[in-house]
């Protein structure tokens, strides 16, 4: 699994939803999108990368979404 590609895709998702006016809904939608369209293996690789790295390469909005709504994945 190419982690850099996963980070790029997650950041693109975050950039899209970050434009929404309701921040809390945007954070939930980021995680919902990842759960809906990513395979379990992709989600596990993203979470493993986040757990293993203090600087994860994720945009702040994606980091916040994963921190707050991780249980949805």
Return the domain boundaries, the chain.
3-72
Tokens of 50: 């986040």
Q: Does pLDDT of 44 surpass 70?
A: yes
Please state, in angstroms and rounded to a whole number, the distance separating the CA atoms of residues 72 and 16. Answer: 19
Q: What is the mean pLDDT of the chain?
A: 94
Give the pLDDT band (50/70/90) at residue 1.
Answer: confident
Q: In this predicted structure, what is the pLDDT of residue 35?
A: 97
Q: Does pLDDT of 69 surpass 80?
A: yes
């Amino acid at each position: 699994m190419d982690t850099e590609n996963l980070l790029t895709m997650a950041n693109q998702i975050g950039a899209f939803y970050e434009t929404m006016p309701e921040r809390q809904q945007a954070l939930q939608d980021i995680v919902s999108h990842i759960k809906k369209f990513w395979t379990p293996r992709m989600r596990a690789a993203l979470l493993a990368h986040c757990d293993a790295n203090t600087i994860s390469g994720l945009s702040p909005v994606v980091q916040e979404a994963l921190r707050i709504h991780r249980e949805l994945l």
